[in-house]
Structure 1
Amino acid sequence: MSAQGPTVPPVLLPEILEFSPQLLLDDIINFANEAITNAVDGLEEFLFRWAADRETRVRDDWDSTQEVEQGLVAFQTLLEYHTDIAFDFFETWSLRNIFAIPADLPIVVPHQEGLDLDYPAELETDLMTEVQSLRKKIDAQRRFKRLLTRSVRLSAAKARRSEKKLSELSFLQDPLLHELGQIPDRFESMFTTVSSLPPLTPETTAALTQLPLPDPGKRPWELSRTGYIDWAAKQLLTKVRQRSPGVGNSTIESTTALFDAIGAAQSLENIAKYESVRSSQEAQQQPTLPQDVEMDNLD
């Protein structure tokens, strides 16, 4: 590029062009930065889907989230670095060539024709210094905004990792663990209660050893003769109550009516015959559960 001659400060350009060249360049740079951000966001979604699919297919202990996030941060930093350098050159070249006015070119804006523009140089210098200071602050705010955007993305990634770890450890809050934690206290209370009981005497031990143990595989009517008679009597009483609803068992009159309805002589004879046959069969083989006792002859 050839040597650039002296130029006047671009004070009249906003009035002539009706826009500020610096703001135009800033808008172009902002569009480029937004394009970089959108590209990184799109690449982030693609990489997370690719990493999830790879974990499903490979099924190894590869921590895809951390590597993808580190790669995205490095990629975005590299793009922003090259973009800043390129657009710094572009901004400088534009201000020195496109929006530059030669110092020896007399320019009079139509709406300023005939006006006295002789102002002290000190005032103009102070204003230009203030404008430059404001531009530096704006540029610093833009850079700070980019840093905040990057920090938000990293914080969101850390939050996702924390939520994933929390979901993996959620079983520690299961109510069953609280109930299991109370078991030692209950065992200790039971042990204390049992320890406070009086010791067994020889008479108590002998009495307990003589108690008959019921067979869990047999029904009440299969245990003994008494159990069978009790079961048969209950069956008879149930049939009589069903056939004679008015008959009760709370008074002597109801008991007498009940025995009259049953037919004491015939019923006792049938029971005796059935019990005799059952006793002979019980001596030969194990008794089986009667499916349905035929009680029609007892009526």
Structure 2
Amino acid sequence: MATEYIPPLTSLSAAEQRSIKSSLLTEHFQFPPETFARNGMDLANQTIYAATKIVEDSLMTMTRLPEEEGDERPFVFEGDDVQKGVYRLETLLEAAVDKYFDLFELFALRNSFNLPSELIPYIVLSHQERLDDALLGQDRSAIEEYEHELASYEQALQKERALKCVEELGQRKLDRINAIANEVGQMSSAEPMSTRIEQLSSQLPQLHQTLSVLLETPSPSLGSTLPSSTTTTNAHEPWSESRSAFVNWATKAKIDALPSSSTLTGAGSSGSTGDSALEGLRRGMQETGGGGEALDLMKKL
């Protein structure tokens, strides 16, 4: 089978080509090329720390005075001087390791792990060895069918989620309405609202009849309804008790305003004055209204 010629990846940028090379080398070696030199640097640093720890422990033994006679030492170190010296030695070794391992990393990436861009289309990894290029594109119909089925599943899932949201919203509204109904007593153990309305409706005719009887009741006499001037002043105004009390109070005020019989001369003047007073009372009662008008008003309500 003739292999089809694949042109080099000239259309890609330098950054994209480096990314492809790094991916190919990582998949082939099972580790990123950048970590090769870094792992060696970490191993060298661990060796430095172990060596400086041994040196520090050895020098710290020389900071104590001899315990036995005859154990003479030419000099004794100070503890601070030992720690400072070991720290400086460790810093120098780390700087040397960083410098030379950086150079080693650059050399490895540019030479050992370098891959020409022209060879990228022809590289076959271990899991690509048995791939048949002749089968390329034959499963397009199956893939399209699978994608169509996947899209239909996604649409159905979206619809189901929307219905779920609507259901939850309706359930919340129903719970809120039930809570309000429980507060006003519609769904509690008390009697239903319709029974209350029926009871109130049955009591309305009786209330109307009672009001009609009260309106048809004649007003009491002046002597029995009007209290003395001393008690009225001390208690409250008599006309504020009821409508009949107001009419009686107005009548008494009109009668009290009439001149006495001792000051009038002649029967003609007395008769004319009385007629004018009665006419004023009749006019006041017409302006105020009677019990029949109150009864008609209650019937309209």
- Identify whether the pair has TM-score above 0.5, normalized to the shorter chain: no
The structure with the largest alpha-carbon Rg is: 2
Structure-2-length-normalised TM-score: 0.32
Structure-1-length-normalised TM-score: 0.32
